[in-house]
Chain A
Amino acid sequence: MTVCSGSLEHVELALLEGSELSSAVQAHLTSCSSCAAQAETLKGIVAALQASPAPAAPADLAARLVPLVLAEAQTGRRQNVFVRTFRPVASFAAAFSVVLASLVAAGGALVVSAALTAGNRTPAPETKAPATQAPVTTEAPATQAPATEAPATEAPATAAPATEAPVSTPTPDLPRRTPEPVSPDPSEGESTAPTEGTSP
Chain B
Amino acid sequence: MPYLTDQELVAACLQGRESAYALLVERYTPRLHRIAARICRHPQDAEDAVQEAFLQAVRDLRKWKPTAPLEAWLVTITVRTAQKVDQRSNRAASRSDSLDAPLADGNQRELRDQATSTDPAAAAGGADVAARLAAAIEDLPSKYRVAVTMRFQEGLSPKEIAEHLGLPERTVRTHLLRGLKALKERVGDLE
Partner-B contacts on A (CB < 8 A) = 12-13, 15-16, 37-38, 40-42, 44-46, 48-58, 61-62, 65-66, 68-70, 72-73, 76-77
Q: With a CB–CB cut-off of 8 A, which chain B residues contact A49? A: 133, 137, 148-149, 152-153
Q: State whether A51 and B121 are in contact (beta carbons under 8 Å apart), knowing that A62-B26, A69-B21 are contacts in the complex.
A: yes
Question: In whole angstroms, what is the CA distance A71 to B180 when docked?
Answer: 43
Q: A41-B188, A45-B133, A49-B153 are in contact. List 6 more A-B contacts (CB 8 A).
A: A48-B129, A49-B148, A61-B33, A61-B50, A62-B29, A65-B54
A69 lies within 8 A of B24 (CB): yes
- Interface of chain B, main secondary structure: helix
Interface centre among A50, A61, A68 (most CB of B within 10 A): A61
Is the CB–CB distance between B189 and A52 below 8 Å? no
A125 vs B26: C-alpha distance in the bound complex, in angstroms? 92
B6-23: CB near A (< 8 Å → 1, else 0) gives 000000010010100110
List the B residue with the shortest CB-CB distance to A46: B152
For B25, list chain A residues within 8 Å (CB). 62, 65-66, 69
Is residue B98 contacting chain A, with contact meaning CB distance below 8 A? no
Name the A residues within 8 Å of B121 (CB-CB): 48, 51
Q: Which residues of A contact B137 (CB under 8 A)?
A: 49
The B28-77 residues at the A interface (CB cut-off 8 A) are 29-30, 33-34, 37-38, 43, 46-47, 50-51, 54-55, 58-59
Which residues in B have their C-beta under 8 angstroms from that of A38? Answer: 184
B51 contacts which of A37, A42, A68 (Cβ < 8 Å)? A68
**Which B residues are in CB contact (< 8 Å) with A56?**
30, 34
Majority secondary structure, A binding face: helix
The listed residue (B21, B46, B59, B184) touching A41 by CB distance below 8 A is B184
Q: How far is the CB of A87 from chain B (nearest CB, A)?
A: 15
B177 touches A65 (CB 8 A): no
With A15-B180, A55-B34, A69-B25 as contacts: A61 and B47 at CB distance below 8 Å: yes
CB closest chain-A residue, reference B173: A16
Instruction: With a 10 A CB-CB cut-off, give which of A41, A42, A50, A62 has the most chain B CB atoms.
Output: A62
Cβ of B105 under 8 Å from chain A = no
Task: List chain A residues, Cβ under 8 A from B37.
Answer: 55, 57
User: Using Cβ atoms and an 8 Å threshold, which residues of chain A touch B130?
Assistant: 48, 52
Give the shortest distance, in Å, between A142 (CB) and chain B (any CB). Answer: 51
Chain B proximity of A5: nearest CB distance (Å): 11
Q: Which of these, A50, A53, A57, A68, contacts B33 with CB under 8 Å?
A: A57
Shortest distance from the beta carbon of B53 to any chain A beta carbon, whole Å: 10
Known contacts A41-B188, A42-B184, A48-B129, A54 near B34 by CB under 8 Å: yes
A50-B152, A57-B29 are known contacts. Are A44 and B190 too (CB-CB below 8 A)? yes
With contacts A12-B180, A61-B29 taken as known, whether A66 is within 8 angstroms of B191 at the C-beta atoms is no
Residues of chain A within 8 A (CB-CB) of B38 are 55
Q: Hey, which chain A residues are within 8 Å of B33, CB to CB?
A: 55, 57, 61
Check B47–A58 contact: CB distance below 8 A. Answer: yes
Q: Decide if A16 touches B18 in the complex (CB within 8 Å).
A: no
Q: How far is the CB of A129 from chain B (nearest CB, A)?
A: 70
Residues of A within 8 A of B51 (CB): 65, 68
A37 to B120 CA separation, bound complex (whole angstroms): 26
